[in-house]
Every structure is written in structure tokens, then in C-alpha cells.
Amino acid sequence: MGLTIFYWIVLLSTFVGIYYLGAKTDLKLWARVIIALVAGAILGFIFGDLAASSKWIGDLFVRFIRMLVVPLIFTSLVAGVVSMGDPKRLGSIGIKTIALYMLTTLFAIIIGLVLGTLFKPGMGIELTGVDPFTMGSSSMSVADRLFGIVPTNPISSLAKGDVLPIIFFSILLGIGIILGGEKTKALGDVFSAAAEAVLKIAHMVMQMAPYGVLSLIAWVAGTMGLSALQNLFVLTVILYVGCLVHIIFVYGGLIRFIARLPLSNFFKGILDAQAVAYSTSSSSATLPVTLQCVQDNLGVKKTVASSVLPLGATINMDGTALYLGIVALFSAQIFGVELTFADYLLIAMTATLTSIGTAGIPSASLFLLATVLSVIGISDAQTALIVGFVLPFDRILDMARTVVNISGDATVSVLVAKSEGELNETEYRNESVI
């Protein structure tokens, strides 16, 4: 009892310390999250099982995140689809851009799935608290699951949180809004405003992150010990490797062999944007720098850059898709879910669509993890455990996926510019402007 009180005193003092660091020194949220991560791990090691007594703080944080899942998918996806159909953005540039965005996302998810299958980051973890065999939808046949994508009642799908029917309906609604032209434009605006509002709530929820992270990592370190952290470490390494492979081979390959341009200029040219993406974890916040790098260093004309890049910062999230694929396999491995080929396809499809609906802000995909997990039959309770487990490391993972996200936008802008005759190759090849 005395020890529990002591643990709580230490914990609350750490909370207060982190709060004051933010309030007094303007220390950025991400830096506070990393401090919380380290502090939580230390507390967990020192206090062991006692750290479980504060897990509820992390659980509360996870509940806030889960609260936003359905509103976020619904509003962001409708708004995302509507933004693709902006008449200004359509035409040959628009079609090439969207096709390339989809293609690169597909490669990203394949890389994620291959790495997750080869290295099995989730093997050997025992997450306590849930019956591992409560999987529901996985036992349904593939035909039933595919059939189930079309909701008989979209409102009931929203209420039940059935992700695939929600995605399906959101996309259709977005298309309907585009087709309605002027008459439905106001509805499109309502959805983008609603998505904006939900993101604001997400932003508020993220202010709780340091405390949630600290409590969760203390619980992981205290009750599961070093081996669990090792698994998270492996997950992080795999994600970083996947991101590197995607940047070097997919983007590098496209620039070198499709656009037939030298690689070194490309990578040097976008370095600033990558650095900003890595430190802000937000493709939207990085957009001005990406625009500047692509126009000034890579010679992409404004007509292309100004339409391709903002769209990319909204819908093209290759790093996010790669991450979602790896975490889906990670979770399946933890809960012993046997995945069939159809499951892999379902993960790929859902991760691609989810990445379209992911906003370019820090930790956005954390809110949408549940989407991908639910399609392979991972229950709500299990998803909450996974989110709680991965969350403390999310910032580090987010930094890498955001770099991939913006590098993908830059790659596509160069390819589209080249094919449209809107690339100033002299500027691209000129090392001195970089």
C-alpha cells in the first residue's frame, strides 16, 4: 500500500514536471511525448507491477482516440474524395496524379506486408486482459465479408462502427457530391468543415498524449518487461527499413527509370522538406517547404506543383499505408489470427483507403488503426490494447512515415511535371540552386 502511494506521488510529480515543461518553456508536444516515453519506461522498470495501477490514465486516452475513429473516417474520407474531384484539379494532370498516388501507395502497403510477414514483429508478445479467441468477423467467409462492404443501412454501420461499409458509403457520398456540381457544393463544404472540426478535437485529445503515453509505457515496461519493449523496438526498426526501401527503390526507381532523371539531385532537392517532415510529423505543416523545394530545387513549374502537392498532402500517405500494413500483421501475430490471402488483400485495400482519409497531422493514423484491424477480425477490446501498446512509440514511427508521405508527393509532382512538359530540367540538374 505504502509503495503504491509512493508510486503515485512519483507519477504525479512527473506529470506536473512535464506539464510545466510545456507551459513554461514552450517545449513542443512531441518532445514532451518522448520525455514521457523515457520517464514511463524508467518508472515501469523501477516499480514493476505497481505501474499497472495507473494504466487507466492511458486507457482513458485511448478511449478518447477511439471516440474519434468513426467521425474521422466519415468526414475526412468524404472531404478527401470531394477534394479529388475539384474541377480545377481534374483533367490530365489530375488523372495522372491520382493514378500515381494510388500506385505508389500500393507498393508501400506491399512492402509493409512483406516485411511484417518476414520479420514477425508481434511474435512472442502476450497482451494480458483479453481472450485471444474472441475474433468475430474473421470466421465469416470471404464472400460474406465482401458482400458486407455494401451497407444495407449506412446509419447503422456508423452506429456500430463497421468500418468497411462506412468507407464504402463515404466514398460514394463523396462521388455523389462531386457529381452534383454547384447544387451539392455546399454539402462538400460542410464535410470539409466537419473534418476540420473533428481534427481540432483530435488536436485537443493529443494534448493528453504525454500523460497517456507515460502511463501506458510504464504499464508495458512494468508488467511485460524488456521483451515487450524489444518487440516494439523491432517494429520500429522494421518500419524505418520499410520507409527507406520505399523511398530508395520505389521513388528512386520512378525518378531514375520512368522520369529518367538523376537521383542525387532529387534527394538533395527535397532534403529540407524531409527534415521538416521528420521534425513536425505533419505533411500539411510541411507543405509550404515541400512546395518551395519542388519548385526551386527540382524545377517543377507552379501549375503542376500547386495542384499536385496540396492534393498529395491530403490523400497520398504511403508511409501511413506501410505502417498500417505492418501494424495489422503485428496485431494478427500477437492475437494468433491466421491470415488468409484474402485477408492480405483486405488489409491492402483498407489501408489504401484509410491512408486517403488520413489527415496530414501528427499521429493521425493512430486514430485510424482500428479501421484496418477491424477488417481482420480483431475485436474492439483487442484494438484498444494494441493502440495502447503501440501508442507510446507512435511519435517515432510517425516521424518516419511523414517523411515518406511528403517524399511521395514530391516524386509524383516531378513525374507529372516531366510528362506534361512542365519540368525545367536545367534547373533540376543544376546543383548550385540546391
Question: Does the protein bind ligand ASP through residue 320 (CB under 6 A)?
Answer: yes
Q: How far apart are CA 176 and CA 353, in angstroms?
A: 18
Question: Does the protein bind ligand ASP through residue 122 (CB under 6 A)?
Answer: no
Q: Which cell numbers in the block locate residue 164?
A: 468497411
Task: Single out the residue of 162, 398, 409, 422 in contact with ligand ASP (rule: CB under 6 A).
Answer: 398
3-state helix, strand, coil in the chain (%, to 5): 80, 0, 20
Question: Does the protein bind ligand ASP through residue 232 (CB under 6 A)?
Answer: no
> What is the three-class DSSP state of 260?
coil
Q: How far apart are CA 142 and CA 26, in angstroms?
A: 51
Query: Which of these ranges, 40-48, 61-69, 278-286, 338-346, lies near ligand ASP under the rule CB under 6 A?
Result: 278-286
Identify whether the C-beta of residue 300 lies closer than 8 Å to the C-beta of residue 417: yes
Q: How far apart are CA 404 and CA 401, in angstroms?
A: 5
Q: How far apart are CA 37 and CA 17, in angstroms?
A: 14
Q: Whose Cβ is closer to ligand ASP: residue 98's or residue 364's?
A: 364
Q: Whose Cβ is closer to ligand ASP: residue 151's or residue 360's?
A: 360
Question: Does the protein bind ligand ASP through residue 76 (CB under 6 A)?
Answer: no
Task: Single out the residue of 54, 75, 170, 283 in contact with ligand ASP (rule: CB under 6 A).
Answer: 283
Task: Single out the residue of 402, 407, 411, 413 in contact with ligand ASP (rule: CB under 6 A).
Answer: 402
Site for ligand ASP in 333-352 (CB under 6 A): none
Size of the site for ligand ASP (CB under 6 A): 16
Task: Single out the residue of 33, 195, 218, 317 in contact with ligand ASP (rule: CB under 6 A).
Answer: 317
Per-residue interface string for the shown chain with ligand ASP, residues 365-384, x marking contact by CB under 6 A:
x-------------------
Q: Based on the number of CB atoms within 10 Å of its own CB, is 61 exposed (0-12), middle (13-18) or buried (19 or more)? A: buried
Question: Does the protein bind ligand ASP through residue 297 (CB under 6 A)?
Answer: no
Question: Does the protein bind ligand ASP through residue 354 (CB under 6 A)?
Answer: no
> What is the three-class DSSP state of 270?
coil
Q: Whose Cβ is closer to ligand ASP: residue 66's or residue 301's?
A: 66
Task: Single out the residue of 138, 382, 405, 407 in contact with ligand ASP (rule: CB under 6 A).
Answer: 405
Query: Which of these ranges, 17-25, 32-40, 186-194, 359-367, lies near ligand ASP under the rule CB under 6 A?
Result: 359-367
Which amino acid is present at 191?
F
In the complex, minimum distance from the CB of residue 320 to ligand ASP, in angstroms, rounded to a whole number: 4
Task: Single out the residue of 40, 362, 388, 392 in contact with ligand ASP (rule: CB under 6 A).
Answer: 362
Which amino acid is present at 329?
L
Q: Whose Cβ is closer to ligand ASP: residue 215's or residue 283's?
A: 283
Task: Single out the residue of 215, 363, 371, 382 in contact with ligand ASP (rule: CB under 6 A).
Answer: 363
Nearest to 402 by CA among 274, 294, 237, 312: 274
Q: Any residues with CB less than 8 A from the CB of 80 and at least 6 apart, and which?
A: 174, 314, 315, 356, 357
For 317, other C-beta atoms within 10 Å of its C-beta total 34
Torsions phi, psi for 73 (to 5 deg): -65, -45
Identify whether the C-beta of residue 377 lies closer than 8 Å to the C-beta of residue 332: no
> What is the three-class DSSP state of 300?
strand
Helix axes 55-84, 341-357, angle to 10 degrees: 80
Query: Which of these ranges, 54-62, 70-78, 276-284, 408-416, lies near ligand ASP under the rule CB under 6 A?
Result: 276-284
Task: Single out the residue of 105, 282, 314, 371 in contact with ligand ASP (rule: CB under 6 A).
Answer: 282
Q: Which cell numbers in the block locate residue 12?
A: 504525479
Query: Which of these ranges, 166-174, 232-240, 275-283, 335-343, lies near ligand ASP under the rule CB under 6 A?
Result: 275-283
Name the site residues for ligand ASP (rule: CB under 6 A).
Answer: 281-283, 317, 320, 358, 360-365, 398, 401-402, 405
